[in-house]
Amino acid sequence: MTAETLLAAAVDHLQAADSFKLSIEQTGAAYPLALSFDGVNTLPATLTSAEAQYVSPNELHISALLNFFIPLALDIYSLDDRQWLSFPSGAPWNLLPAWEGFDTNRLLAAGDGIEYVMDSLQDPQLAPGDASPDEDALWQVRGRAAGAGVSGLLFGFIDPQADVAIRAFIRPEDGRFAALEITMLETLGAAETEPSVWDIRFHDYDGPADFDAPET
C-alpha cells in the first residue's frame, strides 16, 4: 500500500458516490474569495464556514456563512453548468449569470478538482494517523501541491498564489476520504496571525438529498 494508491482509490470512491456532504471551515489568516454574483464584479468577502451536499450526477447545494462587512448567510444550488443564488439564505432563488471562474462541477470533474490535486501531489508521504478513543486511526497522506490546481477543490471560490500543503485523511474501513486540510503557504510568516487553513470534512456518503432545490 502506497500513498499514491490510497489517494487514487479515495478519489475513485468519491467520484462514484451517489452523494456525500462537505463541511468547510477556514481558520487563521483571512483568505479572500473570488466571488461574483453578476458574472463581472468580484466582491470582497471571506468564508467563515460552509455546508454542502453533492448528489450524483449533477447537483450541488451549498449553504455558506460569509463575512463581507458583516456576517451574511447565503445558499447556492448548482445543476450541471447553471447556478442559483438565495441571498440572504432563505430568500427566493435567482439564476446567476455565467461566470468563467465559478464552476461547482470542478470538484469531481475528470482531470480537475480533487483528481487533479491528488494526482499531482508532490512527494506524497504516508504519515501516522491520529485516532480518537472511539474510532480507528485514519490513514494520513501529506504532500505539497501547486496552488492553481486547488481552486477546483473549492468550486473556483479561491485563487491561491503559491503552493499549498495538504494533509489527506482516509478512512481505513472503506478507503474513502474523511477530510482534507489545506494550508496556504503564502500566508506563512506573518507574526500577527496563524497561516490560513481550509478544513474540508467528508461525511454522510450515499445519503438522500437534504436540501430544497429551486424550480428549474
Judge contact between 39 and 98, C-beta under 8 A: yes
Residue 131 has pLDDT above 60, yes or no: no
Mean pLDDT of 112-130: 83
Residue 100 has pLDDT above 70, yes or no: no
Using CB atoms within 10 Å of the CB of residue 80, give its burial: 0 to 12 exposed, 13 to 18 middle, 19+ buried.
Answer: exposed
Could you read off the pLDDT of 40-75 as tens digits, one per residue?
556 677 888 999 999 998 899 999 998 877 888 999
CA separation for the pair 10, 81 (Å, rounded):
25
pLDDT, position 34: 66
Judge contact between 144 and 121, C-beta under 8 A: yes
Query: Model confidence at 8, in pLDDT bands (50, 70, 90)?
Result: very high
Could you read off the pLDDT of 145-178 as tens digits, one per residue?
988 778 777 777 787 888 999 999 999 999 999 9
* Alpha-carbon distances of 97 from 35, 39, 46, 47, 103, rounded to whole Å: 13, 6, 21, 22, 12
pTM over 0.85: yes
Q: Could you tell me which residues are beta bridge partners of residue 95?
A: 84
What SS3 string covers 145-164? ECHHHHHHHHCCCCCCCCCE
pLDDT, mean over the chain: 84
